[in-house]
């Protein structure tokens, strides 16, 4: 069976998780894996003395060894190594299944209020391509995460990656309106958290990927990826500013997905 891995990445509140949810309704035989499910235990997340809090927005907060081994095993079952922890189980059919019940809460906002005709047309075009190329012997896995571009070994495991960018002010406004369910509790960012952790984490761990790494420029644009980086790792970038046309965005995403499939 062909396993197709698609990365979806961008800063927190860039729209990547919402788009992953929309894509999962369009793409057949599809499931989502969230990078957030690979956070290390809180005691192992780096504590920043200067900011007096744990830094959940740095690469050391994520168990990338487990994440990469999980993706590698799903894509190439022969790569499975029982000595390395991963979140898979033998399906009995020659491949492995991802078995974690995600800690990500169900997203009731997983819509850009797209026209139903746009979604139906996308489903039809994608299904025709997949049925023609792979018959019914395939599955698609979407990996949704905010630090995917940081790890080149991980990028090499993807068939291609979709990068969503948004300017600083829009990201901040969206993030500060969000509420999280942690266990059975409702949690919101403490005052100043976006500027202390979220934005610095995005900027610091992505600036080497941008054509212009001046922070003021990145704040205005969300960053523009270097072409050689995009070509090498098959990364496609999309702007998701507050005034973007939701239907046009989904159409552009589907256009890339169908071409790459």
Segment 244-257, tens digit of pLDDT? 888 899 999 999 99
pLDDT value of position 116? 86
pLDDT value of position 205? 97
Q: Average the pLDDT over 24-42 and give the result.
A: 93
Confidence of residue 180 (pLDDT cuts 50, 70, 90): low
For residue 5, which of 203, 233, 158 has the smallest C-alpha distance? 158
pLDDT value of position 111? 52
Q: In what order do the strands lie in the sheet with 235-239?
A: 30-34, 138-145, 2-10, 160-165, 235-239
**CA gap 152, 27 in Å, rounded:** 26
For residue 11, pLDDT over 70 is answered with: yes
Q: Average the pLDDT over 140-144 and give the result.
A: 97
Helix, strand, coil percentages, rounded to 5, for the chain: 45, 20, 35
pLDDT value of position 182? 57
Percent pLDDT > 70 in the chain is 93
pLDDT value of position 66? 96
Confidence of residue 5 (pLDDT cuts 50, 70, 90): very high
**CA gap 84, 114 in Å, rounded:** 42
For residue 219, pLDDT over 70 is answered with: yes
Quick one: tokens of 210?
Answer: 């941008």
Domain containing 35 equals: 2-260
pLDDT value of position 105? 56
The pTM is what? Answer: 0.92
pLDDT value of position 256? 95
The CATH number covering residue 152 comes to 3.40.50.300
Residues facing residue 225 across a β-bridge: 210
Q: Average the pLDDT over 203-211 and give the result.
A: 97
Quick one: tokens of 67?
Answer: 């994440």
**CA gap 55, 198 in Å, rounded:** 9
Confidence of residue 109 (pLDDT cuts 50, 70, 90): very low
Query: SS3 string of 168-212?
Result: HHHHHHHHHCCCEEECCEEECCCCCHHHHHHHHHHHHCCHHHECC
- The CA dihedral of 202, 102, 22, 257, to the nearest 10 degrees, is 70
- pLDDT digits 0-9 by tens, 162-176: 999 999 999 999 998
Q: How many domains does the chain contain in total?
A: 1
pLDDT value of position 13? 92
Task: Report the range of poorest mean pLDDT among 27-41, 104-118, 173-187, 220-234.
Answer: 104-118
Q: Which residues fall within 8 angstroms of residue 154, CB to CB, at 6 or more apart?
A: 7, 64, 67, 68, 71, 148
| Mean pLDDT, rounded, of the chain | 90
């Amino acid at each position: 069976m062909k396993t197709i891995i698609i990365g979806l990445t961008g800063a927190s509140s860039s729209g990547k998780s919402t788009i992953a949810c929309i894509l999962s309704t369009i793409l057949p035989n599809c499931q989502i894996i969230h990078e957030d499910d690979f956070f290390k235990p809180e005691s192992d997340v780096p504590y920043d003395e200067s900011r007096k809090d744990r830094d959940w927005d740095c690469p050391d907060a994520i168990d990338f060894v487990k994440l990469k081994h999980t993706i590698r095993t799903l894509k190439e079952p022969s790569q499975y190594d029982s000595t390395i922890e991963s979140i898979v189980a033998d399906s009995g059919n020659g491949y492995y299944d991802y078995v974690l019940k995600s800690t990500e809460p169900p997203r009731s906002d997983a819509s850009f209020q797209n026209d139903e005709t746009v979604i139906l047309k996308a489903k039809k075009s994608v299904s025709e391509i997949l049925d023609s190329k792979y018959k019914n012997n395939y599955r698609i896995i979407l990996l949704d995460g905010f630090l995917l571009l940081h790890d080149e070994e991980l990028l090499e495991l993807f068939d291609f990656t979709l990068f969503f960018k948004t300017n600083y002010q829009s990201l901040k406004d969206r993030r500060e309106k969000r509420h999280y369910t942690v266990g059975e509790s409702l949690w919101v960012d403490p005052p100043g958290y976006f500027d202390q952790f979220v934005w610095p984490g995005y900027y610091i761990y992505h600036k080497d990927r941008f054509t212009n790494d001046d922070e003021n420029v990145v704040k205005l644009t969300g960053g523009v990826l270097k072409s050689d980086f995009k070509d090498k790792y098959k990364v496609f970038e999309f702007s998701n500013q507050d005034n973007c046309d939701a239907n046009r965005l989904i159409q552009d995403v589907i256009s890339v997905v169908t071409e790459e499939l």
